[in-house]
Structure formats: structure tokens, C-alpha cells
Amino acid sequence: MALIPQPALNPPLHRSEAPFRAAVAQAQTLLQRADVARLDDTIQTMLQMIGQAFPADRAYVFMLRDQIFVNNTHEWFADGVAPVQAENQKLNYSTGEFFWTAFKTQGFLHLTDTSALPLNSELRAIMTAQNVKSLIAVPFFHDADLAGFLGFDLCRQQRNFTLTETNALQGLAATLSLALKLRDTEQARLRLDADLRAANERVAAMIDSAPELLVETDRMGVIVAFHQSAPLTFALSPVEVIGHPPEACLPEAVAALCRKAMVQVNQRGWSDTFDYPLVIDGVTKRFSLHATARQNARTGARKGYIFVIRDITDSYLQAQHNRTLSRVAELSTNLIMLTDAERRITWINPAGVARTGFSLAHARGRRPSEILRLPDAAPDIVQTLCAQLRNGEDINEEVQALSKTDMPYWINLNVQKLQDADGVIQGLMLVASDVTAQKLAESRALRDRATAMDALREGIAIIQPDGRISYVNPVLRGALHLPDDMPTEALSWPEISPDLFNRQLVSLLPQLYEKGIWRGDITLPDPELGERHFDISLTLQADGGALFLSRDISDRKAAERNQALLREQLQLAQSRQLVAQLASGLAHDVANVLAVITHALNLLRPARSAKEASALSRIEAATTQAQALVGNLSRLGGRSTDAGQIDLRPLLEQAADLARPSLGTGTKLHLDLPQTPIEIHGDSTAVMQVFLNLILNARDALCRDADLPGRISLSLTKTRTGTSPPVAEIGQLRADRPYVLFEITDTGEGMDAARKSAMFDAYFSTKGANGIGLGLSIVAEILSAAAGAIRVSSQPGQGTTVQVYWPADPPTTPDAGHPAPESRDKPLSGRTILLVDDDDTVLQHLSHVLVRAGAEVASTTNPRDALAAFRAAPEDWDMVIIDHDMTPMTGLELARKFHQIDANLPIILATGAAALQSAPEYAQTDIAFRLRKPVCDNVLVAVILDILLRRAPFGHSAAYADATSDSG
């Protein structure tokens, strides 16, 4: 298209062009000094520098590629100005032609007002899209050919570019052209250097592949030329060698070999290959020498000799190494075979011949599996080994083989591929270590281990990954009731394991796989014992199997139950003591009231009328009955004993075991017991109370100094008092009497005299809310009843020692203050009590307790039967004791039905539910007393006596009698 004449603009503003020219000069300097490797960065800096000094809104470089101007990502634009749009990064042919024509005719393109462009022109559309108002572009060339142009856009306002500015930009474009040409030249040079290096490397490779030393001689053997290459470098220069015979420049032995080779060349045209050693720089190396005829290229006439000398040190050493290995293989005790690519034996060493029984001649050409007789010894392994070889895998397996004479043996078979330099398999090498002795030793060890495991008391099973059993010892066989003659191979864990444990095993598998081990207790039903307890351990093995260990802990569980029962008995005994004291005080107070009533009755006699006399008689009868009940209640505190000859050592050990878990982390409990029995005549329960109360009291004394380590020492000895026995705090020691001495010493805070004198008083405690002060008073009561004594030694800050003396000789007569159980009065004598509980065991126990206390007892597990018996004869029953948790009716429901028959019937409700006490339905029922299970025997008797005592003058029987008399 033709150039568009530019409209005249207003004259340019007067401004200094010095900053612009300075920026152009600086940019030219920058381009001239630019590193061609970083020319793109320099061009970007140049565009920013010129664009800011011009000032222009956008500066860019377009390169000519295949007759199209392309923006080569060199661009700068001012803040607020958009870059060249992507679709305008290439100028189409018509627009490019417009630029090209302007560059040829004017040397630049100058558009002062882009709006003057024809409306339909593509250039105007581009200028409008890019918001260009004025434009200047100057070309740059490469060897007189247009290479591109440098352009500047003004987007905010129009501008007329001066001639000075245009010339400056043209100079800058010329400098840019030189810089680009320099970069192209440098890149071409780098390519040529790379090509030269590659050519040199190819030449060097060709030279390196040539013989290390090539020597040419004439017919007389005079050297006429030679070529040498690393690593073999001739010691003499070419000037010193050429023109001389071999004897003049080579060692004598080498020169002699050269002459020998010449003779052979003269005879047949070539020589043998000779090798010889040569010491170079103190190192012995090995070389080979070969000669052939040197002929005239034109006539073919022989004109001399060519000698080729090579350094064969490495190959010579490798061959020597191979010979050594071959000798080692021949002398090795391992079985070694070599095969070809078809896996057929080519060689077998003497050890292999001796082990297999097949000679080399017999083995050659056959497969190794045939010589090892694997199909006969282990047929399954052959297919596996062949599959591994087909997959290109090496083999390292332990297999069983058979000798030619059918003798089994075990080998550790290692098979390796033999490959050439190109990785092509040339054959196989088999190395088999004879591990027969090791296998036999392992077998013996397994038998010994099985014998040892058979002798263990724990049950042991080894479980394979598939769940089958590989070993189970007799203990576990007995626990699982497995026949002794059942083979182990026929056992599977899911089949022999109890269903209960299998169900538990499903839930514990995640923990087992996470930690690798699981331990816990299980309880299994037993047809003879009811149930048995086991401590179980399951450990995962490396192969995915498991080791199962079980230990029967039924005896330990029974011992734990006995210990728990013992602790419960101790608590019941303490509560019995409390009840006894409360009952004694209550009896004393009620006895005083009854005495006043009796005295008043005596003053009212004689009666003035028959009606008064009848009333006084009834009052007297009720008072007499109440006095009898009070007497029984006052005797309730008497301690029943089951005395006999007992050894104190196991009791003290048991008490120490019970107390140990409650000791502090720094506290040590030391027990010093003699080897022979220490016996007394007494009650084991009472003795256990003494031991436990004193040990726990010593423990509490240490706990007050929890920051310091503590120690409690216990000992039992036999002793005898002298003629003047020491004074005791509790009881009195008799002269010249044998005693058993129990001594307990602690390192606690100790006591002053006031605390020491009050320590055995009831309800005296230094523990605040944590103690009730009955423990040591119970100890004092037991020792007093046993005619024993207690001595206490203590000082503040120095700990405490308590010495307990039990008479060692049995009593001749029962203690008057403590009659034998069979001579004791029965406090519930003449009372009839109805028991209702759906637990037959509880019924039997309560019946035994009440019958022993003198009551007549009837019991039933059916609430309806109890209701029917009471309805038939309500006057026959003094009291009913009901369990709350029953079916088909609860204890509260049954109590309401009893009270519908007799509203005054005293009912005791026994329950294990604490929430029942606050239940609304309980508040609406007239229950005489409620007891929490388990019920202490003495507490039960005391509660019954208390209820009967409070209701005696107004008993339900009298009310019933009045009711019947009124009706008749």
C-alpha cells in the first residue's frame, strides 16, 4: 500500500533533547559491551531505558522470520499501558509490506496521527485495538538484508518526532543490528567448536583403537617408521629409533623375538603371537608381539616387516585370574556346575562328582536337575526353579537332592547367569553348598526344642500363616481336650480353638497386626471345674504365622478371689465391731428406760380393778419381753471365734501381699520370717485383722512424708518373758511365759506421748475425714481377748515400733468373758422369720445366719408362694426379709401386698441398688429397714433385734389379736 502523507501537527514544544540523546548513547554503549549470551536481557534493559527517556508508552522489537515480522518477546510498556496483544505478535503480509515499503523508501516509518490511516486498512484496525495514537519504527539489517525493526508507540497523546530523534533511533537500531550479528557469529563459532571437538574425539577414538605400537622395518630389519598410542608410549623419540635395527633400541629378549618372528614371516608370510614380560617404571607388564610381511602396494613385492605390539597386561591377568578361579573351583568343597545357553552341563568340579556320584563324562550334556535328581527328591521345586530362570531371575534356594545311590542330601543352591559384554546369556553357573550337616543339626535342635516345650507347664502352639498347626505341646492338647494320637498336620486353629476365643480373636486382630503381639486373659467353660482362666499371649512371626502361649491361671484367680473375700471379711469384721459398740450403747440406754417403767409398775400395784390389773399385766409382759431383747442386743457385740492351732507365717505373708499395692513408689516392705512354723492357738480372721490394721497404720504414717523414701519391716520370732516382764500399753505380760512376738517398724513421723497414749482409743484418728479410729481399737480388743499384749516405742521424727505378744501355749479353759459359740445365748430365739429371694445361695446363707441366732426360718425363691404362706397364717410371722430385684414382682410390690394383709408387719428390704433409697416408690412404702448387699451377718441380727425392740410394746401380733377379739 502507498505511504500515507502525514498531516501537519502543531509545532513541537520546545524541549531539551539532551536527555534523550544521552539515553540513546548509553543504550548504544550497553549493546556494544553486552555479553552475547545475555543479549536478550540487555535488549530488554535498552527498551526500558529509551522508552522512559523518549518518553514513549510502549517499546518493542520485531524480528523478520520467513518474510513475517514477529515480536520476539522483547517488549517494554509504561504503567497503565497494555502490552502488545497476542494476535498482533505477528504482522500479516499486507501490514508487513506497508512497513517494508516505508523502510526502503524513507529508512523509517513515522505515523504522527494513526487516525489518518484509511478506515478499511488492517494497520488502522491494529492501531485502534492497541490504542496507538503515534508511532515510529526504525529498521535494522543483517548483511544488507532487513532483519527487523525497533518500534515505539504513544498511546496517551499524539506526537511529532524530530529528525534528531529519528536519526538517534536509526543509530541505535544499527548498534542493535551489530549486536545481533555478533551474537549470531558467536553462536556459529560455538557450533563450529562443538563440531571440531566431536571430530577430534572421533579421530582420537580411531587412534586409540589402533595397535598401541606399530613398527615398520625394511627387509634387513631396520626400522623405517612407527606409530605409538597410549597407554603404550615408547621410551625413545622417532629420531632415535628410525634407521636403527631392533637390537639398537629394544631390550635384548624383545629384539630376539623380533628376529624369530622375521624368520617365520619369511617362511609363511606371518608369525606366531609371542608374549613377554617387560618392567616399565618398576611395574612388570605383559606384551604381545605379532609380525607380518610389508609389501609394495604397486608390485606386491615384499619390502620388509610390520610388527604389532600390544599391552596385554589386563587380559593376561584376567586369564591368570580365570585359571586361579578354575583351580579354586576344582579344589572347592562346594558343588559347582557350568552350563551352556541351553542349560546343559559343560563342566562339573570334583566335589560335585563326589557328592552326586555322576562323573563329568556322564554329566556333560545333561541338565543339572537330572544330576541332582530333583524330580525324585523334590518334584514341586523343579517347576518353580525353571519359572525363575525363564523370568531372568537368579536363584538362591535350599533344596533336597538325591545322589546316584539314592542317598538324600540338602544343598543351598545358587544359580547365576553368565553373560558376555553385550549382556547375552552364554550359560549358567551353579554353586551348591552342602548343608546336610546343618539340616541334621537343625532337626536335632527342633527335636530338642520340642522336647523342652513338651516339658513346659505352659500351653504352646505354632500356627502357620494359613491357620494350620505345625506344633502343639501336650499341655495345650490337654487343655483343648485333643487326643494324644491325633497328628499335628491334621489340626487347624479355627477347628481346635474354642468358639468363645475365636470370636474374641476377630476383635483383637487389628491390635495384633499393629503391635505384633497381644496379651490378655480369657475365661473358658470347663465341664469339670465350671470355668477355667488362662493368660494368653499371641506373637506374630516373620513368615506371617503366630506363636500361641497359654498359662492356666485358675489357681491364681482363685487366690485373688480368696484375697478379695479376706478383705471383705476384714471390712465386715470392722463393721461388726461398730455395730457391737452401737448395740451396746443402745441396750444400755433402753435398759435404763425399762428399769424406770418396771419401778413405776411396782408402785402402781396392787391394782384397784380387774381392768387395771389386766392393763398392768400386759405392760409388765411387754416390759419383760423388751428387757429380754435388750439383753440379747447387749450380747450382740460378743466376738465369735473359730479358734485352732494356726501358723502365723502364711497369714503375715498374705497380709503383706494385700498391703503392697497401696504403698507409695518409694516405700519398701521388708519381711523377715523364720524357716520353721510359728504357731499360736487363735482365730485366723482375728490375726489377719491385727496384721492388716497395723501394716496399714504404718503405711499411713509414711504417707505423711510422701516426699521421703520409707520402709516398713515385719518380723516373727518366738520369745519368753523373764521374771520381770516389761510393761505393755495393752494387756499384761506374764512372767516366765512363752510368747510369739510380731514386730512392725516404720520410718514414719513417729508420735509424741499424748498421741501414743490415745492411739488404741476407739474413734481416735489422726487421718481426719480419711479415718474413723476403729482399726487400732479392734487390734487392742483382739489381743486383750487372746490374753496377749502390745508394746509401742515411738519418738517424733524417729518412726514407730509396735510389738505384739501372743501366748504361745494354748489356753486350758475358755475365757469366761468370751464363752464358746455353742454356750452363747441365741438372741433371736422364739422368732419366726420369712425369707424371700430369687437367689437360692443367698437364701441358704441368710437362713444359716438366722438359725444360728436362734430364729425359726422359712425361705422361698417364689414371691407368690411367700404371699400365700403369709396369707394363710399372718400371726405366725414376726418379720419378713425381701430381696428387691425379683420376678415376677419386685420387693416393693410384694411388700405392699404383705401390708395389705398386716399393716404393722415389719419388713426388711435387701438390695444391691443404691438408687433405690431415693426412688419415689420407696418413699410411699412402709419399709422398716433397708439393707445394702452384701449383708454382714452381725449387722443383720442387730437390725432385726433393733426393729423388734422398737416394736415390742406395740407389736403386730398384739394388734392382730385385738382386731380378732373386737370382731368376736
Over residues 46-102, the pLDDT tens digits come to: 888 888 877 788 888 888 776 666 766 678 878 878 887 777 777 776 677 888 888
What does the angle CA 118 – CA 120 – CA 121 come to, to the nearest 5 degrees?
65
- How far, CA to CA in Å, does 380 sit from each of 94, 356, 376, 383, 399? 83, 20, 10, 6, 10
Q: Is the dihedral of CA 393, 394, 396, 401 positive or negative?
A: positive
Contact predicate 773/765, CB 8 Å: yes
* 799 dihedral zone (left: phi>0; alpha: psi -120 to 50; beta): left
What is the H or E stretch that residue 652 is in? helix 648-659
Q: What share of the chain is helix, strand, coil (3-state, %, to 5)?
A: 45, 25, 30
pLDDT number for residue 195: 83
| Amino acid 232: pLDDT | 55
Instruction: Please identify which residue in the block is written with the cell numbers 520485531.
Output: 62
Please report the pLDDT score of residue 912 as a whole number.
66
| DSSP secondary structure of 776-815 | HHHHHHHHHHTT-EEEEEE-TTS-EEEEEEEESSPPSS--
Q: What pLDDT is recorded for position 968?
A: 32
Q: pTM of whole model > 0.75?
A: no
CA 291 to chain centre: 76
Cell numbers linked to 695: 501394716
End-to-end CA distance of the chain: 149
| pLDDT at res. 705 | 53
Q: Buried b vs exposed e over 809-821: b needs ≥16 C-beta within 10 Å?
A: eeeeeeeeeeeee
Q: Cell 485352732 appears where?
A: 644
- CA-nearest of 433, 916, 824, 382 to 632 is 824
Residue 146 in contact with residue 103, Cβ under 8 Å? yes
Crossing angle between the packed helical segments 648-659 and 554-604, to the nearest 10 degrees: 100
Other residues' Cβ atoms within 10 Å of the Cβ of residue 238: 13
How many Å apart are CA 411 and CA 417, to the nearest integer?
19
Which one-letter DSSP state was computed for residue 915?
G
Task: Reply yes or no: is the peptide bond before residue 726 cis, omega within 30 of 0.
Answer: no
3-state secondary structure of 164: helix
User: Cell numbers of 584, please?
Assistant: 451396746
Helices (H) and strands (E) in the chain, counts: 30, 33
Beta strand spans in 192-282 (E): 213-218, 223-228, 274-280
Q: What residue ranges of the chain have pLDDT lower than 50? A: 1-15, 813-824, 914-918, 953-968
358 in Cβ contact with 345 (< 8 Å): no
Q: What is the DSSP letter of 253?
A: H
| Cell numbers standing for residue 579 | 455395730
Distance CA 234, CA 214 (A): 11
